[in-house]
């Protein structure tokens, strides 16, 4: 096996892509581009990506393409899952991304999949242009940098009244009454929109919102986007009716889908989905979950007997911190509320978190992204929320210590001291466009939800966490109106920030889970006794001792405050 084949993941089918002199994203690659006067060819791929495999087998296996790249370019290959920060800045509309860059990392042009003839022509044309047009390129680069320089300021805004309603209306207007889900083809699960509907159905006492979410989940699990043999969801549907999927399965998607199925009370589908995750993606030795399973249209067309005789699609065993933390958050409440749906119920989630933090967490330094890969904002905020939830679920006081440490690390390494909010990476790698500052809406929203819950648990008016949550949302508040239903996660965070906190103090796990089942914003303080004290805002009711009384107390207190 060549060195490139050992370092980079290529298609599992025969190909010659490893004959290209691929470089990792590194200072050495950029230095070589400068010293040789060659442009950079950046290929952003993914282990699970069907068309990435096709490009390896066709374009990157064509002798002329191999020769042209090795002669005229510094080729750099990046895995999207390993370096989402690079993908955020260079993706050309899908995977594979094929981007042509200057030696400083500025974009010349780019595309997604390019067949061999088109690629060969582009390689010749762009290399010639790069050699002869440096003055023109420098002018174009300068203009492009001016356009992006003020982007971070433009994302900030006020937390206007009615913004949650606007986002919820965008979700409603995109809802497909016939097939469920949102919009037409291609159709993605949009898990944050489903979670927003399920949460708001409780908060607003509106069963129609719950009906939209359940109808969507039923259509997804009943259609071709769900694997009816082994369980688990495919990444998306190429058709509006969920009948023809793209066959990769992503851990990233399943965290939100597991949570949605649990909130919707769809126990059978939940059990089958978690069963797939446990059997196929979960490492029984560590309790940690692999990142993805490849698309394989032929395999997934087989019945159970045929699959038993076939080789299953490749599983990327790399462990990604943010995705494992998000799944643990979804799994923690499942065992007590829904019964033993699979080995990875609450006990499995606890083991996942123990293994994940042992592997990725260093006090004062936050979380790694994957083995040997530095952490990014997504890893810090999902891990923060997971630690906060682990404390609430009675897994020990150490989780509060970890949560406070991660909150401090995020503020120190990722915060924008001038405009508030958090940047997507800590600035340790600023090669190419990584020097551009980006505040992602999703991660700032997740940070806000975690910080709000941490603030409620601490109960200290002088603690900074609620104000940090507010600033995180303000830093991206100009984005939701252009994002539409894609801003559902922002609405979930903003609604939590704007409502009176619901705090239930009890160490009785049955009562705690009754509270969690009764209201999506309930925060559990495990420092109490076997009874439960329900507080909403400044109103605290008398202690209660049964699950039904907990539910009634939450309803009474929230109604009184309203």
Element housing 166 (H / E): helix 163-174
Token representation of residue 147 = 């356009």
Q: How far apart are CA 410 and CA 365, in angstroms?
A: 9
Q: How far apart are CA 176 and CA 196, in angstroms?
A: 16
Token representation of residue 113 = 């999949």
Evaluate the CA torsion angle 9, 315, 186, 195 in order and state its sign.
Answer: negative
Q: How far apart are CA 108 and CA 382, in angstroms?
A: 35
Q: How far apart are CA 277 and CA 249, in angstroms?
A: 10
**How much is the pLDDT for 337?**
43
pLDDT along the chain (562 residues), means of 10: 65 96 97 98 95 97 98 97 96 96 96 98 98 93 75 83 97 98 97 98 97 98 97 97 96 96 95 96 96 95 96 96 97 63 64 97 97 95 98 96 98 92 88 92 98 97 95 96 96 97 96 94 95 94 96 90 66
**How much is the pLDDT for 396?**
95
Q: How far apart are CA 453 and CA 372, in angstroms?
A: 31
Element housing 236 (H / E): strand 236-237
**DSSP labels for 89-132?**
HH--SSSSEEEEE-TTS-EEEEES---HHHHHHHHHHHHHHHHH
**How much is the pLDDT for 417?**
86
Q: How far apart are CA 522 and CA 491, in angstroms?
A: 17
Contact present, 321 and 374 (Cβ < 8 Å): no
Locate tokens 């505040």: which residue? Answer: 439
Nearest to 176 by CA among 209, 216, 206: 216
**How much is the pLDDT for 179?**
98
Sequence spans of domains, the chain: 3-149, 510-561
Q: How far apart are CA 250 and CA 458, in angstroms?
A: 35
Q: How far apart are CA 251 and CA 273, in angstroms?
A: 11
Q: How far apart are CA 237 and CA 254, in angstroms?
A: 15
DSSP state of 233: B
**How much is the pLDDT for 339?**
43
349 to 250, 282, 287, 361, 486: CA distances (angstroms): 18, 11, 8, 17, 28
Evaluate the CA torsion angle 483, 486, 490, 495 in order and state its sign.
Answer: positive
**How much is the pLDDT for 338?**
41
Token representation of residue 507 = 């160490």
What are residue 187's phi and psi, to 5 degrees?
-120, 120
**DSSP labels for 499-511?**
S--EEEE-S-HHH
Q: Residue 250, Cα to own-chain centre: how many angstroms?
A: 10
275: buried, middle or exposed (CB in 10 Å: 19+, 13-18, 0-12)? middle
What are residue 107's phi and psi, to 5 degrees?
-80, 130
**How much is the pLDDT for 341?**
42
Neighbour count for residue 157 (Cβ, 10 Å): 16
Q: Looking at the whole model, is its pTM more than 0.75? A: yes
Would strands 522-525 and 366-367 be described as parallel, antiparallel, or unpaired? unpaired
CATH architecture of 3-149: 3-Layer(aba) Sandwich (3.40)
**How much is the pLDDT for 427?**
80
For residue 7, is the peptide bond before it cis, meaning its omega torsion is within 30 degrees of 0? no
262 to 159, 436, 443, 475, 535: CA distances (angstroms): 30, 39, 23, 32, 25
């Amino acid at each position: 096996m060549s060195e490139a084949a050992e370092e980079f993941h290529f298609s599992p089918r025969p190909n010659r892509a490893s004959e290209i002199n691929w470089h990792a994203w590194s200072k050495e690659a950029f230095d070589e581009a400068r010293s040789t006067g060659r442009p950079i060819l950046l290929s952003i791929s993914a282990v699970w990506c069907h068309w990435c495999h096709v490009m390896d087998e066709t374009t990157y296996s064509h002798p002329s393409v191999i020769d042209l790249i090795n002669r005229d370019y510094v080729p750099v290959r990046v895995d999207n899952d390993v370096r989402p920060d690079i993908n955020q800045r260079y993706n050309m509309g899908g995977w594979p991304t094929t981007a042509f860059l200057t030696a400083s990392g500025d974009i010349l042009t780019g595309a997604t999949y390019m067949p061999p003839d088109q690629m060969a022509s582009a390689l010749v044309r762009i290399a010639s242009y790069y050699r002869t047009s440096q003055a023109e390129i420098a002018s174009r680069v300068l203009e492009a940098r001016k356009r992006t320089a003020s982007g971070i300021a433009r994302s900030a805004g006020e937390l206007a009244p009615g913004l949650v309603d606007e986002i919820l209306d965008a979700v409603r207007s995109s809802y497909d009454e016939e097939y469920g889900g949102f919009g037409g083809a291609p159709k993605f699960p949009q898990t944050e929109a489903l979670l927003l509907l399920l949460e708001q159905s409780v908060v607003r006492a509106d069963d129609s919102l719950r009906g939209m979410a359940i109808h969507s989940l039923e259509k997804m699990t009943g259609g071709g986007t769900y694997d009816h043999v082994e369980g688990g969801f495919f990444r998306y549907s190429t058709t509006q009716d969920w009948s023809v999927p793209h066959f990769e399965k992503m851990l990233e998607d399943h965290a939100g889908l597991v949570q949605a199925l649990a909130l919707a009370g769809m126990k059978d589908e939940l059990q089958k989905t978690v069963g797939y995750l446990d059997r196929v993606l979960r490492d029984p030795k560590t309790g940690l979950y692999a990142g993805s399973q490849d698309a394989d249209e032929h395999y997934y067309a087989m019945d159970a007997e045929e699959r038993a005789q076939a080789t299953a699609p490749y599983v990327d065993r790399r462990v990604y911190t943010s995705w494992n933390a998000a799944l643990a958050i979804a799994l923690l409440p499942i065992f007590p509320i829904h019964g033993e749906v699979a080995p990875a119920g609450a006990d499995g989630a606890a083991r996942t978190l123990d293994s994940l933090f042992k592997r990725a967490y260093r006090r004062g330094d936050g979380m790694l992204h994957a083995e040997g890969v530095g952490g990014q904002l997504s890893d810090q905020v999902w891990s923060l929320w997971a630690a906060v939830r682990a404390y609430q679920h009675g897994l020990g006081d150490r989780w509060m210590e970890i949560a406070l440490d991660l909150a401090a690390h995020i503020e120190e390494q990722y915060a924008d001291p001038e405009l508030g909010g958090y940047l997507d990476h800590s600035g340790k790698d600023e090669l190419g466009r990584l020097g551009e500052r980006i505040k992602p809406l999703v991660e700032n929203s997740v940070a806000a939800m975690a910080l709000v819950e941490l603030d409620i648990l601490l109960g200290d008016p002088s603690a900074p966490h609620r104000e940090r949550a507010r600033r995180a949302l303000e830093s991206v508040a100009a984005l939701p109106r252009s994002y539409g239903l894609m801003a559902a996660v922002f609405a979930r965070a903003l609604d939590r920030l704007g409502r009176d906190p619901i705090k239930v103090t009890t160490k009785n796990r049955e009562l705690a889970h009754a509270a969690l089942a009764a209201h999506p914003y309930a925060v559990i303080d495990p420092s109490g006794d076997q009874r439960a004290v329900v507080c909403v805002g400044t109103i605290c009711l008398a202690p209660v001792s049964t699950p039904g009384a907990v539910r009634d107390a939450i309803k009474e207190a929230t109604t009184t405050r309203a």
